[in-house]
Amino acid sequence: MAHFPATPLTAEPSDRLSGTVRVPGDKSISHRALIFGALAVGETRIMGLLEGADVLATAEAMRRLGADVQRHADGSWSVHGVGVGGLREPDQPLDFGNSGTGARLVMGLVAGHPITATFIGDASLSRRPMGRVIAPLTDMGATFHARAGGRLPLTLIGARRTMPIAYPLPVASAQVKSAVLLAGLNAPGQTTVIEATPTRDHTERMLKAFGAEVQIETGPRGLLAIRLTGEPELRPCPIAVPGDPSSAAFPVVAALLTPGSEIIVQGITLNPHRAGLYTTLMEMGGDIEVMNQREEGGEPVADLRVRSSRLRGIDVPPERAASMIDEYPVLAVAAAFAEGETKMLGIHELRVKESDRIAATASGLRANGVKVRESEDGMIVEGRGGAVAGAGHVATHMDHRIAMSFLVMGLAAQKPVTVDDASMIATSFPDFVPLMRGLGASFSGAGQ
């Protein structure tokens, strides 16, 4: 994987933002399109694939596992798959850089095949726990040799005979659910995942699109059972990757906070398991108009018109966390400009992301004159009513979402905000700076 030298970047108070933009393809869907393409027999064509470092790491992993993955001159991608059960043993470690999603999903994929693979990543990924994926995959017959705490680097010996299981998710995690379902593709009979809290359902949608038999049932106490019939023959399916709502969050919040702004963000997925941030911003008084709703590739898609707004603090329902888990740092920035307190609880999952995002967000807010009370599973931000001082220097901890969130803050604060490293933005949003500049944002520094 490429090494990104540290590149500080400063966001300066900006005039109104205006224009129409299209954000990069959805990262979650991009990972899955490559993986399912590798498991189908024949060619899968993908339009709009996110070409950030995280997704490119998954593309390279699919090549090492035997699929033919190519990028074409028109920006489309093709994957010639090997079929379920047809993966080959890689002759080199699978390097996932900073990508927890790629690493965990491909662990599920490899666990269901009788091959051995070593998983490595960068310093940040190597600190992140993999135990929640290791536990069910071990039950299915895989063997793991990992560092203490189930951390990378680890070597996975796939099951000789994959066992179907019924697995209640101990935490709401689409990555764990997907890993179990991917392993279950090469198991006889039915593999079942049981969710107490619904998580993003891109895997289930794509499994169906590629021809797998998936049943989703609501049982007692509202538990959701996802049942996959194993050993299908997956058929190629053209994928048009919609815009990533997690990436769209940054221009959307910037437009809400920067006075006089009006922008349109085109073609993002508003999958109900991903749209929690937009619901929350509207509840805070954000002027967000949902336009041109449609369905593309099994995903609900729409355009958003966003106008600058006076926001008010709210209590964000904890049960909404799974639908917006990646967006809490930028929501906290929006909350800093709101009137009154915003409570964000039930978000312990943020402690084990690319960084401890609760601690990193709270530290960044304090550095810019915003009061925040931090707890084990959340934070309460005291809004400044639009008058955020800025002038802070924010430690990003190699986390792309922390970097982008505080650059958004700098556009609307009274004084510039500097992040210590903008290089990792390339993992999910390589064109963040030029896209935001095109709307009128002002940035300076080595990371420009």
The residues annotated as belonging to the active site are 326
- How far apart are the C-alpha atoms of 17 and 14, rounded to whole Å? 8
Q: What is the DSSP letter of 26?
A: P
- How far apart are the C-alpha atoms of 270 and 273, rounded to whole Å? 8
| Extended beta strands in 177-261, E state | 190-195, 214-218, 224-229, 239-240
Contacts of 54 (CB under 8 A, 6+ apart): 27, 31, 96, 97, 98, 99, 101, 102, 427, 428
Residue 224 backbone phi and psi in degrees, to 5? -105, 125
What's the CA angle centered on 379, arms 377 and 381, to 5 degrees? 170
**E strand or H helix at 65:** none
Angle between the N-to-C axes of helices 100-111 and 53-64, in degrees from 0 to 180, rounded to the nearest 10: 20
Q: How far is CA 233 from CA 33, 77, 110, 236, in A?
A: 16, 22, 17, 10
